[in-house]
Copies of this chain bind each other. A is one copy, B any other.
């Protein structure tokens, strides 16, 4: 019904040229204040929106960042709110940077080829962020062929040249968690790993072993059970560990720690008296269990924020790849480990 709106039609109504309208839209300083206000008024009145496709065509910029979370459904969806937190951090930072966020979720194995073509289309996004890309993922090999700048959240496996990432020192954090249990006098310390296709999980396992070795304790494979970062797998892993009488447990995330706690309590163990538990992440669930979980806090939201900013810096050539950012972690002592602590953590109901 209403004629189609473009720069030209706005220009005509405002009695100026297309170029001037363009300048107004792009906040160019080369427009008199009088003209700017007038054009702005017409734009408002006509409810005009510049065509982003036309703009992108000439500027070779879409102002869109792509986010890929290839994590399998049962981890993303489940009780583990690591990914929602990452997303929140990404979403907020990306919006602040005045970009839009294009998202691909879930397993991409089946339409791998197809998706990769979309992802690697340099005209769709200005850059990409990969979250927790498993090292056996089909996208892995294609990364090196990517033309666009990209940032990974969580350290990639092996030496991926040109890959920038944002992560934490998982190895050291796991050592700290395990050392804490050792310091509390535990000698049969078990570990529930995360999905071992994710480097973070491998590093945490490594850190756990390191700490045992450093303390002269044996690394007993019967005290190591594999999980996949969700509650269910933590519960199962603990069932499997219980016959080997652990007196301490370091779980690769809080969600699995909660599942393990459930299994331990069900088996009649007292926590922390009989079994000392330390988790990882410090997500909400850590404060909702009884007893609440001692854990390693990592800045999950910040990972997303930092990754987004880093990507934009990469896009604008303010820095050049690869960049590696390591964010700090912190041991948060609550009830599940049995250490007395009067300053940190707090219970479930006085959270900030």
Contacts and interface: CB of A to CB of B under 8 A. Distances in A.
A315 interface: no
A339 to B, nearest CB: 22
Interface stretch (A26-34, A49-57, A183-191, A321-329): A49-57
B83 A105 contact: no
**This protein's copies in its complex:** 2
Contact of A78 (B78, B81, B122): B81
A266 to B, nearest CB: 8
Contacts of A83: 84
B232 A348 contact: yes
Contacts of A50: 121, 123
Contacts of A88: 73, 76-77, 105-106
Given A81-B77, A81-B81, A83-B84, A122 B284 contact: no
A102 B104 contact: no
B103 A103 contact: yes
Interface string A114-153: 0101101111100000000000000000000100000000
21 contacts: A49-B122, A52-B56, A52-B121, A52-B124, A53-B56, A53-B57, A53-B123, A54-B57, A57-B57, A73-B88, A77-B85, A77-B301, A79-B284, A81-B81, A95-B115, A101-B103, A231-B288, A231-B348, A232-B349, A232-B351, A265-B290
